[in-house]
Structure 1
Amino acid sequence: MDDNFYASTLDSTNKSVKWDVVGDTKEFPNPFYKLIIRQFLLGHTAKENEYNVVEIETSSMSESKPNQIKVPVAVLKAGETRSIQTVLEFPDPPVTFKLVEGNGPVYIHGQQVPGNYEIEDSTELSGEEEEEEDEEDAKVSISKAKNAKNGKKN
């Protein structure tokens, strides 16, 4: 898999960072990438007792139409919470990270991975899976037949 490390820093001079792969064909030859965030980390120079709140802005599908959403994803405070481990997946760019409270620095770590936009029909089974399912159905049928012969309910 061709994935890339992702890192950004939010602080008092850089309160917003946007992740968007559209148009950057040198770094992302495949335009279908998704972003996976693994960690938010509060820097060692963060002010004691200051809350640092990171908010994301992205689009979400609602009633078959895109809808812009904003939601806080991390609240960090020196002396209490220095890091948050997470698995946040953003399948569609753009995603904007904003430091809506505090001065940071807040480091964002994750990875950019090729997205898979082929929709697979989960009801279709491979030949091997079909054979396994048929064998299981046969075992259940035999068991039911034996229990019926012996007068037992299954």
Structure 2
Amino acid sequence: MSFSDSVNTRSDKPVSLIWGCELSRQKDSYTFQMPEGWNCEEQLALCTICLGETAQDEFHMVEVMAEQGDTQTTVPLATLKPSVLPMATLAGVELTPPVTFRLRAGSGPVYISGQHLSMVNEEEEEEEMEEEEEEEESPKKSPKGQTTRKGNAAKKRRLEKEDDLNKPDPEDPLPGKGRGAGRSRKAAPKK
């Protein structure tokens, strides 16, 4: 299934996060990978690539390395020079992780920015939330072998307090039940 196919399904919810990395002589590569435990479709949509203010007046070449099965493909992404082209817009460059960016020439710093897009399946998310709620509500064994539920004592106290507030006081007169209540009753003699 491609990313565009999953956008059209109603059960998928897009999540967009700002993403960026820095390449320099000290750290000349960065690998964007999918976080562990994420069961969703991922995309990296690049926006801009630019040189830092301390970049030397030399050519800075950044390339993208992507794995396709057993082969690794290397494609030049941008060649920047402060006096000629210090920044480039990368509209329409969408990559699927894992992707590695490498500073092939120059000393940097070079900044790459974009959006990390995830398609989270709402049905799976709801199932996970239900499972977590069931785990919280399921009976747990205490060290003495007694079965208890988390939060049961607090809930019981709250219900008892509500019951106490709702019980009528025997000394209070009966409440009226709407318009005209008490008209047929005779007034109690004054003392």
The reply to whether TM is greater than 0.5 is yes
Matches within 5 A, 1:11-26: 11-23=24-36, 25=37
| Residue aligning to 1:90 | 95
Provide the rounded CA distance (Å) in 1 between the counterparts of 2:30 and 2:23.
7
| Local SS of the residue matching 2:15 | coil
Structure 1 runs (4+) deviating above 4 angstroms are none
Matches within 5 A, 1:52-67: 52-60=60-68, 67=71
1:10 and 2:23 equivalent?
yes
Q: Which has the higher contact order (CA 8 A, sep 6+)?
A: 1
| Local SS of the residue matching 1:44 | coil
Matches within 5 A, 1:99-118: 99-115=103-119
TM-score w.r.t. the length of structure 2 is: 0.52
1:33 and 2:36 equivalent?
no
| Alpha-carbon distance, 1:59 to partner | 2.8
| Residue aligning to 1:77 | 81
- Greater per-residue strand proportion: 1
Provide the rounded CA distance (Å) in 1 between the counterparts of 2:60 and 2:21.
15
Provide the rounded CA distance (Å) in 2 between the counterparts of 1:51 and 1:32.
35
1:22-44 Cα distance to aligned partner (Å, 9 max, x none): 41x4xxx4432110111001111
| Matching residue within 52, 55, 60 for 1:46 | 55
Q: Residues 97 and 44 from structure 1, CA distance in 2 versus in 1: closer, same or farther, beyond 3 angstroms?
A: same
TM-score w.r.t. the length of structure 1 is: 0.64
Matches within 5 A, 1:114-129: 114-115=118-119
1:131-152 Cα distance to aligned partner (Å, 9 max, x none): xxxxxxxxxxxxxxxxxxxxxx
| Alpha-carbon distance, 1:67 to partner | 3.7
Larger Rg: 2
Provide the rounded CA distance (Å) in 2 between the counterparts of 1:42 and 1:115.
31
Provide the rounded CA distance (Å) in 2 between the counterparts of 1:3 and 1:66.
30
Alignment gaps of 5+ in structure 1: 117-154
Alignment gaps of 5+ in structure 2: 1-13, 121-191
RMSD over equivalenced CA pairs, Å: 2.0
Q: Is the 8 A contact 1:30 1:114 kept in 2?
A: no
